[in-house]
Amino acid sequence: MKIYSILLVFAVLLALPAQAQKFDGGIATYQSKTSFDMNNFGGREMSEQMKKQIAERMKSRLEKTFTLSFSKDESIYEEEEKLEAPGAGGGMRFMGGGFSQGGIYKNIADDVYARQNELMGKTFLVKDTLAKLDWKLEKESKMIGQYAAFKATAVRKTEQNPWEALRRNRNAQADTTATEAPKEMVITAWYTPQIPVSQGPDEYWGLPGLILEVNAGPTVILCNKIVINPQSGLEIEMPGKGDEVSREEYEKIVAEKTKEMSERMGGGRGGFGRGRG
């Protein structure tokens, strides 16, 4: 095991001079997959055929492809556009509106985070400082493609989102003994010093090398392609449209809208997807 680690370090040292000669940025492609427990959404009451049908409809939302366009200081993480299956619709649909999120912009030099979101027909520009994680650099290493990657871990508070809010509301009404979801989760990331930028997918950043893989609860994000110094396609621009709000302000708005929808849907008993056009 020690010999393998030494070889990884040696590979990194050989590669660093070549990377350091010239760096104008890069584009990394990531595959994101999120597992989905049907039992948390009333799946115990569904037939296997119904579970299978819902799983197929959910697949496009749970398995996505993203690109990270990055330079030393800036990056933007965007979902690749693709044709929706008939009747699938875009984003998460509520009665009377939708919920969708734009690309994540990060500027490490200026400590700026920005994201343009659509919520029930209204556009918001969520702008704030970068979310910082207290990374712990571990001793483990492995190869991801042609890159030597090293492990890092951090603990993060779990986020509240519309899906989770409706699920909890439903469970609370159905079972007063239901336990709360854990309020913290361990994030595991794999980064490569061969690409010496502190960028990464989604909201992850802050390691001594590009983050190639993230394991965060039910979600796995894995890089499968990197183009350094691309001749075209490297466009990094901070979103600028919408009513500007902080993260905290936006979370309060989402919570309020979610509560409204939960009440309209009879406390979540009607399930998702009603009111689709």
Q: Mind listing the pLDDT tens digit for each residue in 71-91?
A: 999 999 999 986 555 444 444
How do the domains of the chain map onto residue ranges? 2-82+91-264
pLDDT band at 20 (very low <50, low <70, confident <90, very high): very low
- Angle separating helix axes 247-264 and 162-174, nearest 10 degrees: 40
Token pair 């609860």 is at which residue? 217
Token pair 């001793």 is at which residue? 139
How many residues belong to the chain? 277
pTM: 0.76
Q: Which pLDDT tens digit goes with each residue over 113-146?
A: 999 999 888 999 999 999 999 999 999 999 999 9
Instruction: Give the highest mean pLDDT range of 21-25, 39-43, 45-49, 105-109.
Output: 105-109
Instruction: Give the highest mean pLDDT range of 33-37, 147-151, 171-175, 266-270.
Output: 147-151
- CB of 97 closer than 8 Å to CB of 89: no
pLDDT band at 58 (very low <50, low <70, confident <90, very high): low
How much of the chain, in percent, has pLDDT values that exceed 90?
A: 51
pLDDT band at 69 (very low <50, low <70, confident <90, very high): very high
pLDDT at 54: 65
pLDDT at 52: 67
Enumerate residues 6+ apart whose C-beta is below 8 A from 76.
68, 69, 70, 103, 104, 105, 106, 235, 236, 237, 238
> Residue 172: is its pLDDT beyond 50?
no
pLDDT at 95: 42
Distance CA 125, CA 253 (A): 13
Q: Summarize the confidence of residues 159-163 as an average pLDDT.
A: 52
Residue 147: closest CA among 15, 267, 3, 1: 15
> Considering the chain, what is the average pLDDT of its residues?
79
Q: Summarize the confidence of residues 26-39 as an average pLDDT.
A: 85
